[in-house]
Amino acid sequence: MARKTGRPALVLSAEDRQELERLRSSRKGPKREIERAAILLRYADGEGPTAIQQALGVSRPTIYKCIDKALAAGTQAGLKDQYHRPKEPVITEEAKAWVSNIACTKPRDHGLAAELWSLAALARYTREHAPAAGHDSLARAGKATIWRILNAGAIKPHKIQYYLERRDAQFEEKMREVLMVYREVALQNEAIPPEETPSVVTVSVDEKPGVQAIENTAPDLPPVPGKHATWSRDHEYKRHGTLSILAAVDLHNGEVIAQVHPRHRSREFILLLKELDEHYPKECTIRVILDNHSAHISKETMAYLATRPNRFIYVHTPKHGSWLNLIETVFGKMAHTFLKGIRVKSREELKQRILQGVREMNLAPTVVRWKKFDLGLA
């Protein structure tokens, strides 16, 4: 069909035609580009705007714009939208900087109740206060405008990213001390037979508070072959309170010594120390790796330690350094074994289940080792 547009013919190279045909048959390409590729191929094959409009169902202005861009700057230009700015930007750079500065403060700093900005709140605050600050261009700013300003500066005032502040000025020193103890224990374990008790026994101690005693309100439903692959459990449950696990793990043989109490105060911690004192031979020194919990260094605890001179040695992990305490590995094992999904009818039942789980762990104890001795010891 002959074209009657007053426009010259569009001559496609083999590469351009192949690319346009690939795009026209694409199922994942942008719809606009697929449509424009079909227009250019039909025009290059001699079809006029009327025929193209009838075949593709697009408007004549769309056809003319696509053809004119391709004739002026090539086929790739015909596929893309032309960037244009109908008018100069209204919001000045100073106004954008003002918005970014406000976003880097907290709403409460401006007399508001919120802790973090939302786009709506920041836009409302901007409309109310920007004109008084000399930025009349922000008098009608909406959420989309505020988002564009913040996005350009990669600012997300509605989110919180947590970090760890090292509040312990002696963090490095305490970490090295703990790792040196682990290295010494490793050398002891290599030199002393497992059945012998070393003169200095090292244990790792900590508490796991807040273990919930939860009871089902309906019985669990077991798996059914071919129907249900997992246990089914009702969403409702009863709470009976919480318990705390106070535990120590022997770093030489992996034995776990644990107690379960409703609370973890100094008196409960002293009960654990007394059990350790009774468990090991009287001639041994018990080296305890532990954190700086108040129960570990309270007056009541220090008074008990004074009655057992040279029996216990404290090695403190640094603040925010609980990952250095190997007892955390034992607590993690508990959480993934007998504590996982546990349901009981009372706190007493939970206590007995925990102690039974510890006894089962001690039937096949695992010696917990620290392997990365190069950390902090260079």
Give residue-wise pLDDT tens across range 201-210. 999 999 999 9
φ, ψ (nearest 5 deg) of residue 142: -105, -175
The dotted CATH code for 171-363 is 3.30.420.10
First to last CA, the chain: 82
Rounded mean pLDDT, 179-194: 89
Q: Considering only 82-96, 221-235, 352-366, which range has the smallest mean pLDDT? A: 82-96
Rounded mean pLDDT, 171-187: 90
Tokens read off for 306: 């004074």
Tokens read off for 355: 């102690």
Among candidate residues 246, 240, 181, the one with its CA nearest the CA of residue 212:
240
Residues 301 and 264: their CA atoms lie apart, in Å, by: 12
- Listed in sequence order, the DSSP H helices in 204-326 are 266-279, 299-306
What's the pLDDT at 2? 45
What's the pLDDT at 378? 44
pLDDT over threshold 90, residue 75: no
What ranges do the domains of the chain cover?
14-79, 93-152, 171-363
Rounded mean pLDDT, 100-115: 94
Rounded mean pLDDT, 105-116: 94
pLDDT over threshold 50, residue 1: no
pTM assigned to the model:
0.63
pLDDT over threshold 70, residue 370: yes
pLDDT over threshold 60, residue 22: yes
Q: How many helices (H) and strands (E) does the chain have?
A: 13, 5
Longest dimension (CA), the chain: 110
Which residue do the tokens 């459990």 mark? 233
Q: How confident is the model at residue 214 (pLDDT cuts 50, 70, 90)?
A: very high
pLDDT in tens, 288-334: 999 989 999 999 999 999 999 999 999 999 988 888 999 999 999 99
Residues 65 and 47: their CA atoms lie apart, in Å, by: 16
Tokens read off for 6: 């007053």
Contact present, 67 and 12 (Cβ < 8 Å): no
Among candidate residues 202, 211, 193, the one with its CA nearest the CA of residue 339:
211
Contact present, 320 and 190 (Cβ < 8 Å): no
Contact present, 144 and 101 (Cβ < 8 Å): no
Query: What dihedral angle (degrees, nearest 10) is formed by the CA atoms of 103, 109, 115, 119?
Result: -30
What's the pLDDT at 361? 95
Work out the percent of the chain whose per-residue pLDDT is above 90.
64
Residues 357 and 350: their CA atoms lie apart, in Å, by: 10
What's the pLDDT at 278? 95
Contact present, 347 and 241 (Cβ < 8 Å): yes
Question: Do β-strands 285-290 and 312-316 pair in parallel, antiparallel, or remain unpaired?
Answer: parallel
Query: What residues does 204 pair with on adjacent strands?
Result: 249, 289
Q: 140-175: b or e for each residue (b if 16 or more CB lie within 10 Å)?
A: ebeeebbeebbeeeeeebeeeeeeeeeebeebeebb
Rounded mean pLDDT, 10-25: 89
Considering the chain, what is the average pLDDT of its residues?
90
**Cα Rg, the chain, nearest whole Å:** 36
Q: Considering only 126-135, 222-231, 243-252, which range has the smallest mean pLDDT? A: 222-231
Q: Considering only 145-159, 336-350, 363-377, which range has the smallest mean pLDDT? A: 363-377
pLDDT over threshold 70, residue 124: yes
